[in-house]
Structure 1
Amino acid sequence: MLSVAPITIQKISQHSASEYVADLLAVEEPLEIRLGFGPAHDRQQRTVAVTMRTPGHDEELALGFLFTENILSNPSEVVSVRHCGSDSDKKGNVLRVELQPEAVVDWQRLERHSYTASSCGICGKASIEAIQTICQTQIVSDFQFDPEMIHALPDKLRETQRTFAHTGGLHAAALFDETGRLVLVREDIGRHNALDKLIGAAFWQGWLPLSRFGVLVSGRVAFELVQKSWMAGVPLLAAVGAPSSLAVELAKEAGMTLLGFVRDNRYNQYTFTYASRTV
């Protein structure tokens, strides 16, 4: 189902009269992620995050977020993931992740997750050191790619973006194999959410680490996207847009190949690692 909202707009052009036409917008709504935890005789719940997202694949978004924040490490820790329907005002926008009774939650990790924000004011070195405490080893993979395969990815991604085709307002993240086949694609109004949905889907399927796949994102690459990809074990991260300086620095630390400006049959390679090799 497409997450779009109809609207009437006025189109104004320099060379023609204005007109009123029907249009579609990408839906943006808040999602509250709650954790259910504790022993069977004393279950508790706690809100861990509220994010603005495009409805759809909410379960994957929650799981991807919790995995990349190092709260979850294995699908076996999860009992269920479902929307809360008791509050009519929030129905569909509150999701509860029930953990096994023996699961232990490190709440300090969630309190520290703000280092991923570009505006947090923490220096690059401190941010990378924070990630290194979680991702203690570099990515090891013999994933191979060739330029022609990379050049073809943006068109393949665009063909799958049904909601983007109607609205022009969504980011996408795609998982692809060495042949260039798109295995999974997820869309969201937030680039981080799109990647969390993708990683969450892979997490639930038991595919992690993603050492045999690459990831393509539709926008620019900031520090957070490299961090999430490192958590998931992605050896190759490609982007239609530009990377930030800290994204490149973190990709080097991760042993990850980072490509930018993947469009118009060209791309820039910012890191050169043994994790991914051009064939």
Structure 2
Amino acid sequence: MLTDECISLPQTEEGLATFHIVRCETPSLALHEMPDLIAQEVPIALQFNGISHAVLLGTPLDLEDLAVGFSYTEGIVRTHSDIYDVQVQHSPDGIVIDLDIASACLQQLKLRRRQLAGRTGCGLCGLESLQDVKRALPALPEPFYNVAPAAVAKALHQLRQQQVLHQKTGATHAAALANQAGEIQVIREDVGRHNALDKLIGHLLRHDALATAAQSLALVSSRASFEMVQKTAAAGIPTLVAVSAPTTLATQLAKELNLLLIGFGREQHFNVYSHPHRLTSF
């Protein structure tokens, strides 16, 4: 007879945990013990100049990318040069990332301050007022390059192929940057969709590659929420392709910020929700 003793404690490596589980096969209802890979989800506390600011729940990979990207997309820092140092400390309770930022950014920290019990769902939980929801971002500058549907389809195909953690666990989201030809240049994964996009943007900042983002497109394996559009525009990326649906606020913001928003992205078809004139047939 199988009991809870058949389920072992996890053994972790590179964002994964190995559990021994029990699988039930239908229609025979036969029970089998087997190993299974599960995506890690841990509390990640962000501190700025020693001040506790937010606690996220995320996958403990590419943590410096996450910290830098979050700081930038939240408007806490203006450029990567505003971050002097990033220290990552592991403890039995989770991870603490302490960022040393420019004193001029402390005012922005106070204005955008959150007291979060971080979640893998809503990225806006904990804001102190409705006015904090929408950042004062300028519209993306024109002219833009046109986007070929074939490039979108190619990038979506590569996105699925390159989601290594998702292939092993089925539990993570991905955010990727592709060039005009649809070739993915970098991809980041996390159990939180906002975290994955922050990791991608943080990587671009850390490698002084935001300038190339203006000629690229971002892809996310999730829905396109308001905040996902806002983060993409803040990074200067003029196109966002989402595997799932957009929301009304996301669509409205994409129109305001001159961002080409694509939803229900599939290799065979996709929907365009803003600025369809930027699609080209070549």
Normalising by the smaller structure, the TM-score range is 0.7 to 0.9
Q: Who is 1:7 aligned against? A: 19
**CA displacement, residues 228-252 of structure 1 (integer Å, 9 cap, x when unaligned):** 0111111110011111111101100
Extract unaligned runs of 5+ from structure 2: 1-12, 117-121
Say which of 41, 61, 65 aligns to 1:28. 41
Q: Distance in 2 between matches of 1:176 and 1:227?
A: 18
Q: Distance in 2 between matches of 1:46 and 1:143?
A: 42
Q: Distance in 1 between matches of 2:189 and 2:124?
A: 21
Q: Is the 8 A contact 1:140 1:235 kept in 2?
A: no
What is the letter of the counterpart of residue 164 of structure 2? R
Q: Distance in 1 between matches of 2:107 and 2:206?
A: 19
SS of equivalent residue, structure 1 residue 18: strand
- Structure 1 residue 84, shift from structure 2 partner: 2.9
Q: Distance in 2 between matches of 1:174 and 1:259?
A: 14
Q: Distance in 1 between matches of 2:222 and 2:268?
A: 16
What is the letter of the counterpart of residue 31 of structure 2? S
RMSD of aligned C-alpha atoms?
2.6
Say which of 195, 204, 225 aligns to 1:193. 195
Q: Who is 1:40 aligned against? A: none
Extract unaligned runs of 5+ from structure 1: 37-44
The count of residues paired between Structure 1 and Structure 2 equals 262
Alignment of 1:251 with 2:263, yes or no, is no
Structure 1 residues 127 and 249: CA distance shift in structure 2, 3 A? farther
Q: Who is 1:212 aligned against? A: 215
- Structure 1 residue 65, shift from structure 2 partner: 0.7
Q: Is the 8 A contact 2:115 2:127 kept in 1?
A: no
Structure 1 residues 245 and 82: CA distance shift in structure 2, 3 A? same
Deviates more, 1:167-176 or 1:75-84: 75-84
- Structure 1 residue 277, shift from structure 2 partner: 3.8
- Structure 1 residue 15, shift from structure 2 partner: 1.9
Structure 1 residues 101 and 70: CA distance shift in structure 2, 3 A? closer
Q: Who is 1:262 aligned against? A: 265
Q: How does 1:66-105 map to 2 (within 5 A)?
A: 66-84=71-89, 88-90=91-93, 93-100=95-102, 103-105=105-107
Q: Distance in 2 between matches of 1:110 and 1:78?
A: 17
Deviates more, 1:173-182 or 1:144-153: 144-153
Alignment of 1:117 with 2:142, yes or no, is no
Q: Who is 1:182 aligned against? A: 184
- Structure 1 residue 263, shift from structure 2 partner: 1.3
Q: Is the 8 A contact 2:84 2:101 kept in 1?
A: yes
- Structure 1 residue 127, shift from structure 2 partner: 7.1
Q: Is the 8 A contact 1:8 1:22 kept in 2?
A: yes
Structure 1 residues 245 and 121: CA distance shift in structure 2, 3 A? farther
**CA displacement, residues 181-231 of structure 1 (integer Å, 9 cap, x when unaligned):** 111100000000000000111111222252111000001111110010111
- RCO higher in 1 or 2 (8 Å CA, sep ≥ 6)? 1
Q: Distance in 2 between matches of 1:137 and 1:154?
A: 26
Q: Is the 8 A contact 1:33 1:47 kept in 2?
A: yes
Q: How does 1:149-168 map to 2 (within 5 A)?
A: 149-168=151-170
